Each structure stands twice: as structure tokens, then as C-alpha cells.
Chain A
Amino acid sequence: MSRLPTDLELMTRVSRGGDEAAFEDIFRRHYGSLVAFFYRMRGERHASEDLAQDTFLRLWKYRGTYKPTGSFVGFLLTVARNVWADRAARSGPAIVEDEVLDAFPQKRAEPVENAEAEEDKERVRKAVLDLPEALRAPLVLSRFHGMEYREIAEVLAISARTVEARISRAMDGILRRLRRFQSGGTPIPESPEGDEGARP
């Protein structure tokens, strides 16, 4: 049984020869997680797809300059982070998808077996989206993508110490928000200030 090529091997083929088939393999491996990353960062499905597409398009466009160092996933998320920063700089705050898509003709939602659990998930999702981006990004990379702090530091171009501080603050922020949700209050904005780690 032949071994599947690694991401780095595929990307090397893409970089050197413009191998579109290899690029498709990379795309199929990572597109879903990239959409998920953007969805958790932005909260809007179609925008997340667009951002993921933009990320891969940028990857393809500059494939000739790729240098195989470090993990490919970290590299991909670094590109994604830059695409995200581009988009965030020009499109303003995130939009919770419900507000956008309520008006669309869509299939009716199926009855939810465990409405309370779904509600909890939704609260957590909104609590994450409520976080300032500086706190949200390391949290998403840590909790949803299983990255270690040093990898997150590499992707976000900040120190590992800053990552640690921000994730701690993000977790605290989510806890506070969930408590306010439970008490019927309105979450208050979280300030990204006060990071304890040194900035790069």
C-alpha cells in the first residue's frame, strides 16, 4: 500500500511544477478546516467560504515563492490570518450569520432533539464572536485547531507568552459572557488591552 504524500511534498510539487492535481489534494485536505477557522473567526458561513477561497487562491498565486519550512498547516493558517486581516480591515465587524441569512429562503430547520444543548452551543459560538479579534484568534487556533502555543505564536506573529495570556483572557471572557447570558444580561465588550506577554 503506497504512502500518501505529505502536505509538504504536495506543496513542493505545486511550488516547483505548478502541479494542479497536487494542489487539489491540498485543497481537499484543508479547505474544510480553513472554512471552519474563518467561520469561528467571523461567524458567517458564506464569508468564511470566500475567505478560505481567497487563502487558497493566494497560495496558488504565490506558489513559486513557497519555502518548505515548518509545518504546512501553520503556514496555511498564517496565510489565512493575513487574508483575514485584509478582509477585517475593510469589512468591519463580524456579522452573526443569523442576522444575515434569516431573510433567505432556506429549508426549515429540523426539530432539535436537545434544544438546550443546541442553545448552549449557540451561546458559546456567540461568546467567541464577541471576543475581540486579538483574543479570538489564539483561542480559535488553540481550541479548534489543536495548535500548540508556539505554533500559534508563529501564525499570529506574537510571542508564546502573549498567546498564553490571550487565551487565558479569552477563556475568562467566555466564562463571563456565558454567565451573563444565563442571567439575561448583555455581554460587555472585552478589551484586548492588558496582555501580559511581550509584544513582538
Chain B
Amino acid sequence: MTLCPDLRRRFVPFLDREVSDTEAAAIAAHLEECAGCREVRDSYVGVRQLLAAAPAPAPDPAAWRRLRSRMRRGRPVWLRPVPLAAAGSLAAALLIFATLSTGGTSPPSGHSGAAAPSSQGTPAVPSRGGGEGGDGGPVCPAVRRDLSGGAEAGAPFSDGPVGSSVAPSPGDATVVSRDRGGILDEPAAGAGAVESGAASAPAPAAVEKPGAVPPVVGGGANAAPSKGAGAAASTPAGPLGPRGPMGAAWVAARLNSDRRHEGIALRSFGEEPREFDPFTGRLPLPRGEGGVPLRELPNGNLLVDANGDGGPWVEVPDRGAQTIAVQVRHEDGPPRTLHVRLEKERGAGGGGGRGGRAESRWTLRNVTARTGRWQRESVLLLDGDHDGRYDDPGADALVFSDGVPIPLGSTVACKAGLLDVSVDPAGESLRMKTHEGAMGAVRVHALYQGDAQIQSLVLRSGDRYVEVCGGGGAGGRGPRTLTVPVGTWELAGGWVSGTDFRARVRPGSYPPIVVAAVPEPREMLLGGSCRLEARWERGEPGSITIAADSVAIVGASGEVYEDRSGGLQAVRASIRRKGDGKVINKQTVSRFT
């Protein structure tokens, strides 16, 4: 049964009383005469009644306390304590015991599936996604593509949805630039594996100051050089809301006249300057004037007065995307650097080359979240405090595909050992380095519903976090061993999956465990044993076991490079044995989607 054609577009507004009285009367009269439309009306009314009765959960009574805590401390919400009621019911269902001993021991019995250290001393640690290691067991993606080399420079981190100009397949070509602080050139499509030892694109340089400069409020110095490789950029809806493409001719670092709000304003040709509203993401008309001029050069490059004072100007190469820094400051405050993402969108049909300049346009957005892929995983870099920088472990975070945010500056446990993950403040590079310090070991085994796979577990000790990434053993199941710094660790999050279920590990579900230092640091270390076993029962038994184990410490260092293409562009890292520094895991540079 369908509505009469004349009514189709107006019928729901009629039911919602969103039509005029005259129109409502006309529709009502039609309903009197038309049995078909009445039947549809009855169906709609029935659905509306069901919708009205649809349940919604009662909010957590501890919500305000949690929020207030976050307001004061800026902690990520996933670290919130378990609500009392939930914790109580969970605790009642848990049988938890822990034993602790020290000294070199073999793994505890009862875990025959435990992955033993390899002959090279590499502790087997699961992959996050599982199953694709190809080396006898899943490998954490963080090191699945670890490579030779070992430079320490930064590299571009991907940013936002990407264009399609680079679509490599696994094992395809890679272009690596070594001498530009890790900045990668945009790879040539279809090229073979190439390593380029020299930079090809010059860093932006101060150029001659153009003519008139509007009044500005910015000050200071240090316009950041352009960084990053670019594929053609799209214009995604960013964290502050939709950001349509803007034919920006001016970008302004300015303040509202009330001096309480600093932000980035845009001015397009023929348009009024606008300013991002952090609440709505919209660009309302600003109050006051002032700005940093942008000027597009004939070669497609962009001139930016990033200081907002008329000089020096920075020339931004005509590349897909890059981050610049602009200085803003309150009249009564210190200057502050905001990192702003400039992206150049190629116009449709305009060609991907620079000849398409006439149809391309620059867009600008504040950098509050950058997405991309790290190894084979989707990752998201969050600027939680919206200050344009990725430098606050309490607010900014790295989020992997499982949705578990990893605070910046934390540590991830991988096959190669314990890696400290850091992101440079501008969010241009993601770096892994071997964690230094006294180590212990933890073995994690999920036994929920028989063969559960650990997708992610986050352990916390004070301000340090370690993520256990992925399951292990055959089929991605079985116990996993990871190194952690000595200390008291507690479960802070994560999730476990089986064939037909997913279970979230709630913070506070298990009591902390103490991981002891190994007796004497050496190249190959046997950790003290520490054991925690937790169990819950709910009709069918299930449990998670966390136990200390013996492991070797193996180092890994290097960076993972990323671009906006959605595929890893290059990885440059080495896995070295601590002590003699011998490289024990050496792979080739790879690139994949």
C-alpha cells in the first residue's frame, strides 16, 4: 500500500504538524476519501508509537563524577573507573588469585600453548589483527613490517581521508627519502622499489614579502617548514564539523574582538572572512579584522605569512597536503602556535599535475584528528585538547582500529619487545623506539568460551600504558607473552573475541599484578615469574589468565612512515638485540594499502 503521489512528500510533515493549517486541512480531507492513504497513515502512526516506546538506557549515576574528573584532569574516558554496581557484580563473579615469585623460571605449567621465546630471543607476541604474520604465528602489526635502516628522523603521518592517486598493493613499490628528516616524496605510481637517498623537493623558504598586508594580531616567529607528502586531498568532515572546500585566498590568524577566542579564520575571494567555531564547526562571520595573507603563485605554490606580521613569508609547495604553523596570541598573552593543515584539492578533470592548478583549490583546517594507516591498521591521531598539537598524554591519543585509545607517550608491546610510541607535536611523524629500563614479563591468556582471541588489552601502571595487541598461537589463539617495565600493572581496557561474541575488558575487572624485575639485566633475560589468574562465570565458564613468563629483551627502533594514500608508504626500522646491537630482524622496505 502506498500513498497517493501528491501526498508522498508532505505526508510525514503532515503527521509531524509541520505543514500549514490550510495544507493540513486539505490532507485531512483527502484521507477521509482515500482508504489507501488511511492505511498508510495507520502504518506510520504505528511506527511512530513504536518509536516513542523504544527504550533508552538509564544514564550512569556516576556520570557527573566521571565528567568532573575529566574536566579537572583531562583523562580519557576509557580509563574511567567501573561503576560501583557493575564492579560489584563483576567482582562477585570473579575468582582471582595471584602468586608471585622471582628468579629465572620456566613458564608456569598449564599453559602448554604458550609461545616460547624464539631462538633469537624474540618473544612471541600476538598481532592485533591476527593471523597474517606468515612466520609461524601472528605478528603485531607494529613490527610486521619492521625494516632495515634505523634512522631516527621524523616522517609524515597521514592526515584524514585520502585521495586515490596512490593505490599500491602489498609489496609494491616504495620511494624512500633519507635525507630530509624523514619527509617522503610522493611515490610515483607504478614505480618499482626505489630508495632515494636525497631530497628532491626543497623545504619552504622565506621569500620576498609581497605587498599590502592586512592588520594582524599574530606575533612571534618560526613559521614551520612545510612537511608531509601529499596525495590529492579530499575535504573531510573534521572533528569540528563539516568543512567544505574553500577557495582560500587569505588565511587569518586572528582573535575575536572580545579577546576570548582565538582561532583560524578564512577569507575567500568574494567572501567575508569566517572563523571556525569550536562548538559547531561552522564558520560564522567574525568580528574584527586581521589576517595572514595567502597568495597563490603562478607555479601553484602558496605564499603564507604564517607569523601574521607580514614577514617572513613561507612558500608552501604545491603538494597535496602539509601542515604549517601560524602564530596567534592574545593581546595580553604569550604567542601560541597553531598547526594548520593546508590541503590542495585537484579539481575534477583538471588533471593531477600542476597543470590543473586553475581547477584546484586550497583548503585549510585546524588539525584536530588525523587518520590513516599504521602498518596494516587504521589509526587515528587525536588532538584531544584541540590545541593543534599532539603533545598532551592526558588528552591527545593514538587510537588503533579496535577503538582503544593509547595515550601519547605510551608503550606498546609487540613481537620485537616493548616499543615506546611517540608522535611529534605537529603530528607529522609517528615513532617507535625500544623501551629502555628494567623489564619483567607478563603472559596473557584468554580462555573465555574456550578459544577466545585477545584482540587488545591495555595494561596500565601509573601514567604508563602497555597494549597487548592481538591473540596468538594457532589461529590467533593461545597465551601471549610480553615484556613490560617492572611495576604494578592493572587492566585498563581492551577486548576479547570469539567466533560469535566480543567481550570488552572493563577497567578494574581484575586486581593489579606485580611484575618484578629480572634478577640481572643481560642480553637474554629470564624474567621473574608472576602470575595472575582471573576467572568469571556466567552460565558457561570463561577466564582470562595473566601470568608472568620468561622472555628475552629485544630492541627495535626506527619509524613508520605514512602518507595520506591510505597505504603505508615506507617503514624504516631495525630490530636489534640489546647489548651488542645486532640486527636480528631485517626486512625490506615495503609499501602497501
| Residues of chain A whose beta carbon lies under 8 Å from any beta carbon of chain B | 20, 24, 27-28, 31-32, 35-36, 39-40, 45-46, 48-50, 52-54, 56-62, 64-66, 75, 78-79, 81-82, 85-86, 89-91, 99-107, 117, 120-121, 124-125, 128, 142-144, 148-149, 157, 164-165, 167-168, 171, 174-175, 178, 196
Contacts and interface: CB of A to CB of B under 8 A. Distances in A.
Given A89-B371, A102-B501, A35 B56 contact: yes
Interface in B239-274: 239-242, 256, 260-261
B489 to A, nearest CB: 22
Contacts of A142: 16
Contacts of A50: 77-78
B33 interface: no
Contacts of B475: none
- Sorting the interface of chain B by its residue count into under 10, 10 to 19, 20 to 34 or 35 or more gives 35 or more
Contact of B63 (A31, A40, A75): A31
A164 B8 CA distance: 11
Contacts of B240: 82
Interface in B29-88: 43-44, 47-48, 50-60, 63-64, 66-68, 70-71, 77-78
A157 B236 contact: no
B474 interface: no
Contacts of A100: 502, 504
Interface stretch (B132-140, B275-283, B578-586): B275-283
Interface of B: 8-9, 11-13, 16, 18, 43-44, 47-48, 50-60, 63-64, 66-68, 70-71, 77-78, 89-90, 93, 236-242, 256, 260-261, 277-282, 369, 371, 380, 385-386, 399, 403, 448-449, 496, 498, 501-504, 536-538, 542
Contacts of A40: 54, 56
Contacts of B277: 65
The 10 closest A-B pairs by CB, nearest first: A103-B503, A36-B56, A105-B538, A86-B239, A168-B12, A103-B501, A124-B50, A90-B380, A65-B261, A45-B57
Nearest to B239: A86
Contact of A89 (B8, B236, B278, B503): B236
Contacts of A167: 12-13, 16
Contacts of A79: 279-280
B86 to A, nearest CB: 9
B12 A56 contact: no
A124 B54 contact: yes
Given A27-B64, A168-B9, 5 more contacts: A49-B59, A79-B280, A90-B399, A143-B52, A144-B51
A143 B241 CA distance: 23
Contacts of A32: 58-59
Contacts of B369: 86, 89-90
Contacts of A107: 89
A110 B367 CA distance: 48
A164 B13 contact: yes
A22 to B, nearest CB: 13
B512 to A, nearest CB: 20
Contacts of B8: 168
A31 B61 CA distance: 10
Contact of A53 (B53, B67, B237): B67
Contacts of B67: 27, 53, 56-57, 60
Contact of B279 (A53, A58, A103): A58
A81 B385 CA distance: 18
Contacts of B279: 58-59, 62, 65-66, 75, 78-79, 82
A63 B267 CA distance: 26
B502 A103 contact: yes
Contacts of B93: 105
Contacts of B281: 82
A78 B284 CA distance: 14
Nearest to B401: A92
Contacts of B43: 175
14 contacts: A31-B63, A36-B57, A45-B57, A57-B71, A65-B279, A75-B279, A90-B399, A103-B449, A124-B51, A124-B54, A143-B52, A148-B18, A171-B47, A175-B44
A28 B64 CA distance: 8
Contact of A46 (B44, B53, B504): B504
A121 B54 contact: yes
B54 A164 contact: no
